[in-house]
Amino acid sequence: MPKKGSKPRTIDAAEGSIVVKVPIADVYERWLAFEDYPKFITAIKRVRKLDANHFVASLGFNGRQYETTLEMMLCVPERRLAWRTLADHRAPDHFAAGVVSLASLSDQTTGVTLKLTSSFGGAVSSRVHKYLRNFKRLIEGQGD
């Protein structure tokens, strides 16, 4: 809940899609690895696993640093992952959520759709497209 007298946060949302030349199982496994998110989601600086569904993430937006708890809310193998921030002492007035949807287009090609919602500020739309391009470079460039 916002502090008394503070302005309510604006919530921005965006969606983007990309096609990667990697089998869906490999794409899904990469999105499950929250600790690797800083490699392609540049606003996330560091992730530390707390348990199977909770992580602490250090974030950087608009020159400010935040630390927040992330919760994996949905995990449908080779189809969809969803996560959100939890309101806590680390970032009580901020909210973010993400959903990744996967679609097998062929044995070696996968469609990836990323939806982000955030009150942390910044151009969510341009960030979604940047994160997807980074993900494509990362997953297609890996040697496995």
Locate the domains of the chain by residue range. Answer: 12-141
Tokens of 139: 């997953």
To which CATH superfamily is domain 12-141 assigned?
Answer: START domain (3.30.530.20)
C-alpha 95 chain-centroid distance: 13
**Reported confidence tier of residue 144, pLDDT bands at 50, 70, 90:** very low
Read off the pLDDT of residues 3-45 as tens digits, 9 standing for 90 and up. 555 555 678 899 999 999 999 999 999 999 999 999 999 989 9
Alpha-carbon span 96 to 118, nearest angstrom: 4
Read off the pLDDT of residues 53-95 as tens digits, 9 standing for 90 and up. 999 999 887 788 888 899 999 999 999 999 998 876 655 667 8
Q: Are strands 44-51 and 54-61 parallel, antiparallel or unpaired?
A: antiparallel
pTM of the model: 0.85
Alpha-carbon span 17 to 77, nearest angstrom: 19
